[in-house]
Structure 1
Amino acid sequence: MRGWWQEITGLVLPADCAGCGRQRTVLCERCRGALSGGPARRVWPDPVSAGLPPVHAAARYGDTVRSALLAHKERGALALAGPLGAALAGAVHSVVHDRAGAPGGGIRAGAGPFLLVPVPSARRAVAARGHDAGRRIALAAARELRREGTPVRVAALLRQRRLVADQSGLDAELRGANVSGALGVAEGAERLLMGEEPVVLVDDLMTTGASLTEAARAVSRAGGEVLGAAVVAAPSRSFGINRN
């Protein structure tokens, strides 16, 4: 019910820009530009955990982008799923094109179809927010990609197998330990992963990469092929590292 009321409120009531506060617009053109005005790029946490797939981000996490992500996830500004999904679609394109151009990438990596697999939030967090922010953005990204001719579908097949602590405030080592072994594939989903569709993991934000690493391990253990991971945003320092 909470999610239903949030949907109606977003349609009926005027909104201010989630990025800068400009009146009567969900996200102004300037703030949209901060999200997806530039090309998505490969990013690296520091340190890079073993098993982390290539990660591509659409924007730097800070100010406007941070405000938009928090407004969507924590304050139920559901109309932001569209622009956030468009940004995520750009990061997915970056993953696919980078993999297709890499040695051994092959035609399959660049041609599709693909599965977008969201990294799941804790059930209690989803219940408290009244909506699944990660899945909502993934669905918006998939719509954008299909409009552009990229065959893709969302498969929310990862599940939390045990409780994990809040990741905020934890360093890279503690985050890795916190989520280690915490994710698994839903019963029966192995058949989907062992098909012809490779996986791009998707999330709203990468900080240390711990959750994406664990998600990649869970998909790989179930027989899936992980092309990489796409996120809306990553810390600015992640863009400054070049490991090519």
Structure 2
Amino acid sequence: MRRLWQDLADLVFPADCAGCGEPRAELCGRCRAALHGRRARRVRPDPAPGGLPVVHAAAPYQDAVRAVLLAHKERGALGLAAPLGTALAGAAGVARGGAGGGGGEGGGAPTLLVPLPSTPRSTRARGHDPTRRVALAAARVLRGSGVPARVVPVLRQRRAVADQSGLNSRQRKANLKGALEVNARAVRLFGPGARVIIVDDLLTTGSSLAEAARALSADAGVRRISAAVIAAPAEAFEVNRN
């Protein structure tokens, strides 16, 4: 019911730009360009956890990009899923080996987007699963550009974890160690030649992505794993500026 009222309000009362507050523009041209106006680049946290796959990000996590991500994730601005999905598709396309979501390397091999799972508690509190919603939008963009992409939400938590906010990189790694598993019934989805890309909204320490890669490798035998995110700290881009 909460989500229905939110959707109706979005239709009746045009929102201001989530990035800069410009009136009557859910996402203005300037903020849209900040989100996906450049080619995705490889990013890496410092220090990086062991087992972290190669990660590509669409934009630095700052200013308008930060505001847009938070508006979608925490305030339920669901109309932002489409532009966020476009940004994620760009990062996934580069991670896959193509350019900006195009066909690129790998021909007709399927691209499987595996979203990091939200906890049931956070999903209930927010009224939606933001990562899965944006992953679905990204898959639509990729398919529209000729990439056979689909979302496979096969990861699940095998045990409870503490809230990650406020934890440093070492604490996050310990908190997440062995926390994820692949649904046994979903292992069959990872056929020969499939390209698996773990997707999330934001790269912080990389511990969540590393744990997801471990679970996919250990439980499903996946070997070709990369990762794509919408945003990452500016310093993570600087580490890979060359």
Q: TM-score range by the shorter chain?
A: over 0.9
Matches of 2:196 and 2:165, distance apart in 1: 27
Matches of 1:241 and 1:59, distance apart in 2: 14
195-204 vs 20-29, greater mean Cα deviation: 195-204
Instruction: Look up the match of 2:209.
Output: 212
Instruction: Give yes or no for contact 2:35–2:65 (8 Å, CA) kept in 1.
Output: yes
What SS class does the counterpart of residue 231 from structure 1 fall into?
A: strand
Return the TM-score normalized by structure 1: 0.92
Instruction: Look up the match of 2:30.
Output: 30
Could you give the per-residue CA deviations for residues 23-69 of structure 1, whole angstroms, max 9, x where no partner exists?
A: 10110000001000111000010011110000000000011111000
> Which of 146, 150, 168 is the matching residue for 2:147?
150
Instruction: Look up the match of 1:75.
Output: 75
Q: 1:3 to 1:225 in 2, by over 3 A?
A: farther
Matches of 1:107 and 1:28, distance apart in 2: 33
2:146 corresponds to which letter in structure 1? G
Match status 1:63 vs 2:63: yes
- Structure 1 unmatched runs, 5+: 100-105
1:127 corresponds to which letter in structure 2? R
Could you give the per-residue CA deviations for residues 154-213 of structure 1, whole angstroms, max 9, x where no partner exists?
A: 001110111111111111100111111111111301111245422101000001000000
Match status 1:228 vs 2:226: yes
> Which of 151, 167, 170 is the matching residue for 2:167?
170
1:129 deviation in Å? 0.2
Instruction: Look up the match of 1:199.
Output: 196
Instruction: Look up the match of 2:85.
Output: 85
Matches of 1:8 and 1:115, distance apart in 2: 33
Instruction: Look up the match of 1:190.
Output: 187
Matches of 2:198 and 2:110, distance apart in 1: 14
4-13 vs 135-144, greater mean Cα deviation: 4-13
Matches of 2:86 and 2:105, distance apart in 1: 25
Instruction: Look up the match of 2:178.
Output: 181
Instruction: Quote the sequence identity (%).
Output: 59
Matches of 1:229 and 1:74, distance apart in 2: 23
Instruction: Give yes or no for contact 2:109–2:193 (8 Å, CA) kept in 1.
Output: no
1:82 deviation in Å? 0.6
1:243 deviation in Å? 8.8
- Structure 2 unmatched runs, 5+: none
Return the TM-score normalized by structure 2: 0.93
116-125 vs 6-15, greater mean Cα deviation: 6-15
Instruction: Look up the match of 2:239.
Output: 241
1:8 deviation in Å? 2.6
